[in-house]
Structure 1
């Protein structure tokens, strides 16, 4: 097992992921320490079993939330605990086996080299990816590029990424959104507005079938309505912020590029 980091941790929110949670945690622990898991009101018994595992593994910590509050809320709980413990960065990854645990060290090294950035996974899809979801994320990514004045965010929805802990907590505490499926996109937009630059790293993503233990809580109607409402809010705020964003962008450029 790797030596424990004092600045960077892996943070895994989980809700009713079943057996896939344990292989995901094991894969993450093989690559990094510490790994923290926030079980978001799961009713499948995985939280209690994972707590048992953590009793014999000092590199693993588990929190059980009493009821399901959404991915963003689970991540925020973990971020607050991380900040209290002195950590500065958290690599968020899903608990369902879609994300490449073997790339955790590479992402962490990129963050350690540039701690003022957010390190974002840029998904590489294989044949398992649902075509409708791949096309849908292109639309979301287009809106994100516009909302951030083309700040260079490679993908707005891929949840395998490293956040600066303090900056994201401050962003989330200033408004009531970003608590459910809208979390991933709104987090990168608002961090970009705050001047946190993205670093993009290609990373494969797997869509596991039910036979492979894959679990998905994505609902096309509910979650696309949520994303539409989110981008509507962000676009309104983007228009209001536009003079400030343009001024900041111009100040970062050398005079001969203006």
Structure 2
């Protein structure tokens, strides 16, 4: 754990918008990520998803000195989507209306939190999606592979304008997201990000896209990845198969909305 005495901003807590960071065995980058988020926003919540790397204790130590940071510890790993759902259910009970999700491994641009939140506040009915801007050293397999998921997501929404289906730095209106997630049993693990944008579009929530830099850290830089190419690509394949069937069923409604909005 790093030194927890670093000062945090004294800004007033937003009554509506929350930064939510699901975290599973993130490595030491999590402390830098949380501090960076807190430097930009209040409140920030971290949902520790059954981590076994002692990060829960480290994050709780940070929260003990920072009233703008709240740490929720789940007893066992339930998956990213389930961790987000746990957080937004609690947030809804406290009257919060929007959530910005970001990863705990330092890849997402915390300095863009105010811009994303301002866009959401100006257009509260939309979801604000980050569109990743990759550095030259980003893994080509990851960069090119996401184009497949993006293509399917846009097909499944009748080209509703999803800039990127996999990038998890985004702002959702909480109630539509809760409605989508409680309405079915999927979206609980790595399939959360792409399925969320498709199903939110089906619900009529429009996407607004904002470019956002992304950084892939090497292991010697503290980078941690839980992505498993076989397991997670099979999960995405199964997800898009389900979504394609759902798209076919909803096609008349999507076409009607498109005609009405023309």
Aligned to 2:203: 194
Q: TM-score, normalised by structure 2?
A: 0.95
SS at match of 2:190: coil
Aligned to 2:141: 132
1:171 aligns with 2:180: yes
Q: Structure 2 CA distance, aligned partners of 1:164 and 1:227?
A: 24
Q: Structure 1 CA distance, aligned partners of 2:257 and 2:233?
A: 32
- CA RMSD for the aligned pairs? 0.7
45-54 or 64-73, which deviates more: 45-54
Give structure 1 regions of 4+ aligned residues with deviation exceeding 4 angstroms: none
Q: Structure 2 CA distance, aligned partners of 1:223 and 1:232?
A: 14
Q: Is the 8 A contact 1:99 1:204 kept in 2?
A: yes
- How far 1:52 sits from its partner (Å)? 1.8
Q: Structure 2 CA distance, aligned partners of 1:140 and 1:101?
A: 25
- How far 1:232 sits from its partner (Å)? 0.3
Of 45, 68, 71, 1:62 maps to: 71
- How far 1:235 sits from its partner (Å)? 0.2
1:104 aligns with 2:106: no
1:242-257 matches, cutoff 5 A: 242-253=251-262
Aligned to 1:222: 231
Q: Structure 2 CA distance, aligned partners of 1:92 and 1:26?
A: 15
Q: TM-score, normalised by structure 1?
A: 0.97
SS at match of 2:99: strand
- How far 1:74 sits from its partner (Å)? 0.4
Q: Structure 2 CA distance, aligned partners of 1:146 and 1:40?
A: 32
Of 31, 42, 54, 1:22 maps to: 31
SS at match of 2:42: coil
Q: Structure 1 CA distance, aligned partners of 2:194 and 2:61?
A: 34
- How far 1:53 sits from its partner (Å)? 1.5
Unaligned runs of 5+ in 2: 1-8
SS at match of 1:13: strand
Q: Is the 8 A contact 1:128 1:208 kept in 2?
A: no
Aligned to 1:33: 42
